[in-house]
Structure 1
Amino acid sequence: MTSRMVAGAVLGAALFFVGAALADDAPKLAELSPSGADVCFGRVYDAAHLKVHPHQKVARIFFYHGHDPVSRPNEEPSSMSDAAYNGFLTTTVRGAKKPEWAAGWCNKEDLSDKASGIRCGMECDRTLASLKVDDKGRLILSNVQPDVYLDAGAEEDLGKAKYDEQALGREDDNFRLDPMPADTCKAEFSRIDPVDPALGAPLRERLKPDQPFCYGRDYDDAHLKSHPDQMTQSIRVFRGPIELASFAAGGDAANWPDGADIAISVTTRQKEAKVTQTYSCQGEADQWRCSASSKMSDFACDISQKEVFLKRGASGTMLLANPNNALAIVDLCSKMAGGKTTSDDKVYRLNPMPQSACTP
């Protein structure tokens, strides 16, 4: 599993995301956009420049201030629109076919000081970039972090060699970008992998706070024979009366799916008895991040760091990712549950089922 900040990373996709929040009311900064219109700055470096800057990986860079130019369906609560991103960065490194991108909130560092610089912040109190417009109207974009597209803590997780390969270069922290038409930035962002229309609406729209659901799969002998390292024989992901009552008592429909409980039942080849575990979810980028909960049973360890991820699949299916042994196919407090999932139980493609198929 790559450590890049793209939502599909845990599901083997190419994007992990720092957020495609709704931005209909994204605030504008007069220094960047005196007229209040969306603005674009960019630069494409020629071979001569790159030759004399061997530690600069970035060959193309664009910064867009205004409404979201990416507009990818996301799983974050609709109430998050009040905190819309207004700064969007995209870069393409040497030899890459497509750009990467990140988004953040751009504001004056000191609102009381007109001469104050502009900082664009990201999730987890990280910095996207610092901004300044020079006397020729060019955007000076500095303080770009080498791990801007990576997860927090990626250097420790990946190791130095892999981190250096995926991070930006030593000379990728300071850029002078020229003003360009807004459509130029939109065209650059459109080079990012388009959303597959077969995926349909986000899970937060498909699944309702006050309605049950049931997804699952029963693996036949042919499948299990071709996947000898898969432990799971049957799996169900559902919300039933208990989960609905829990959300009705303490949840907020305006922040759906944050705080939603789900249950996951599994049977394995080794044990015919079904084991059910509860998880508490929150919307994050284009997935639900669901942490194991001890609401329904006692554990000898803290299981809150055990996480699975739900993501919409094509044609009404659901994808479940289990990158770090967070399903009850193993004892969640055992040594076997430590570290990454090594069995063939990492990703499941689940089909909608009648609610009766998920009866505990």
Structure 2
Amino acid sequence: MTSRTMVARTMAGALLCAALAAFAGAARADNALSLKELSPNGADACFGRIYDAAHLKAHPHQKVARIFFYYGHDPVSRPNEEPAANQDTSYTGFLTTTVRDAKKPEWAGSWCNKNDPSDPTSGIRCGMDCDRTLASLKVDDKGKLLLSGLSPDIYLDPDASDQMSKAEYNRQALGSEDDNFKLDPMPADSCKAEFARIDPIDPALGDPLRVRLKPDQPFCFGRDYDDAHLKSHPSQLTRSIRVFRGPVELASFAAGGDTANWPDGADIAVSVTTRQKGAKVTQTYSCQGEADQWRCSASSKMSDFSCDISQKEIFLKRGANGTMMMANPNNAVAVVDLCSKAAHGKTKSDDKVYRLQPMPQSACAP
């Protein structure tokens, strides 16, 4: 896993494990902080090590320069992210490593159990979805954590070796000496600080959209592109764009929405005026909170559309200094009627990512 972004990630590997994950969740839920070797008092526990230049010079095939293992409650749900719906909190083991010269760590989550519950001396296995193993753990008589069995492709999709060239796989995978780590016990805050490096807080971003935009208040964001911009972006069809919640969208949420799970179920409207004869298209989307963004699917409940438009999606994300980012990195934002023949397939234009400014509600009036 890596920090989440607006651009849709390749999910092929995750889909391979989706069925297994559905069955594994219930079993994991009973394992929270039950391993006394890692946490004698039931509190969150942290182990880590930072390698100096001399060690790395002596071990040229070790890529990992920093490594931390956290046994406890999720340290990865950073302030930059919104809580995911039905978030799986059953993971209890979290690993983060930073390879040489990398600016940010990578991380993976797991659930940890005794190899043999009937044998107090047996080691600990931390498992992942898709029947993968994160690592095997033991605590020595000095309280140090011995971490072994770490696969070099721990951060890659299960089928990465088949999907990547050998050179690319070796570039992204860990090194041949990245295993059998001995980690020192550390304060829990040390691990939390290390995991916070994955996605540092940007003060310019301010509150997340779920806080900034209220369930019962309208909003309007937009942008108008001048001739100079359009001349420098000949493949962009959008001349003007508006993203808003008005009386219709507010009434829809008031009638059936759940404010406790805001923004799940929130409707928004997107109006696009194109440079071709000034044609204007307005489309309604229904949104769900997902990490640090809203994932919004095209909706027909306030339209006369009869075709299947459920797979047409856009993403909303807070931008710096009160702006809003809107994107559809796969198919571009709809600039035509989604039920028309022109809407089938991928949109071959530059209408994919927008930085929108807050506007008065009158600017988004129909």
Q: TM-score scaled by structure 1?
A: 0.76
Shift of 1:27: 4.8
Cα 1:332–1:31, aligned 2, differ >3 Å: closer, same or farther? farther
- The answer to whether the aligner puts 1:72 opposite 2:82 as a matched pair is no
| Aligned mate of 1:181, from 178, 186, 208 | 186
Cα 1:109–1:345, aligned 2, differ >3 Å: closer, same or farther? farther
Check whether the contact 1:224–1:230 (CA below 8 A) recurs between aligned residues: yes
- The answer to whether the aligner puts 1:92 opposite 2:101 as a matched pair is no
- The answer to whether the aligner puts 1:250 opposite 2:256 as a matched pair is yes
**Deviations for 1:287-331, whole angstroms, at most 9, x for unmatched residues?**
11112223323254x332222111111121111122012422145
| Match of residue 289 from structure 1 | 295
Cα 1:347–1:187, aligned 2, differ >3 Å: closer, same or farther? same
Cα 1:32–1:218, aligned 2, differ >3 Å: closer, same or farther? same
| Match of residue 316 from structure 1 | 322
Matches within 5 A, 1:230-241: 230-241=236-247
Question: Which letter maps to 1:179?
Answer: D
| Match of residue 3 from structure 2 | 6
- The answer to whether the aligner puts 1:146 opposite 2:153 as a matched pair is yes
Cα 1:226–1:64, aligned 2, differ >3 Å: closer, same or farther? same
C-alpha distance in 1 between matches for 2:201 and 2:345: 34
Question: Which letter maps to 1:106?
Answer: W
Shift of 1:234: 0.7
Shift of 1:232: 0.7
C-alpha distance in 2 between matches for 1:349 and 1:256: 23
Question: Which letter maps to 1:75?
Answer: E
- The answer to whether the aligner puts 1:133 opposite 2:138 as a matched pair is yes
Q: Root-mean-square deviation (CA), in Å?
A: 3.8
Question: Which letter maps to 1:8?
Answer: T
Question: Which letter maps to 1:47?
Answer: L
Shift of 1:111: 11
Q: Extract unaligned runs of 5+ from structure 1.
A: 13-25
- The answer to whether the aligner puts 1:298 opposite 2:305 as a matched pair is yes
Shift of 1:356: 2.1
- The answer to whether the aligner puts 1:60 opposite 2:69 as a matched pair is no
C-alpha distance in 2 between matches for 1:331 and 1:114: 64
What percent identity do the matched residue pairs reach? 59
Shift of 1:185: 2.9
Q: TM-score scaled by structure 2?
A: 0.74
Check whether the contact 1:142–1:173 (CA below 8 A) recurs between aligned residues: no
C-alpha distance in 1 between matches for 2:226 and 2:298: 28
Shift of 1:197: 0.6
C-alpha distance in 2 between matches for 1:332 and 1:154: 35
Aligned pairs, how many? 333
Shift of 1:109: 7.7
- The answer to whether the aligner puts 1:228 opposite 2:237 as a matched pair is no
Partner SS state of residue 262, structure 1: strand
Partner SS state of residue 215, structure 2: coil
- The answer to whether the aligner puts 1:219 opposite 2:225 as a matched pair is yes
| Match of residue 14 from structure 2 | none
Check whether the contact 1:290–1:307 (CA below 8 A) recurs between aligned residues: yes
Check whether the contact 1:326–1:332 (CA below 8 A) recurs between aligned residues: no
Check whether the contact 1:215–1:318 (CA below 8 A) recurs between aligned residues: yes
C-alpha distance in 2 between matches for 1:82 and 1:270: 47
Shift of 1:107: 5.1
| Match of residue 17 from structure 1 | none
Q: Extract unaligned runs of 5+ from structure 2.
A: 10-30
Shift of 1:59: 3.4
Cα 1:342–1:90, aligned 2, differ >3 Å: closer, same or farther? farther
C-alpha distance in 1 between matches for 2:363 and 2:38: 56
Question: Which letter maps to 1:10?
Answer: V
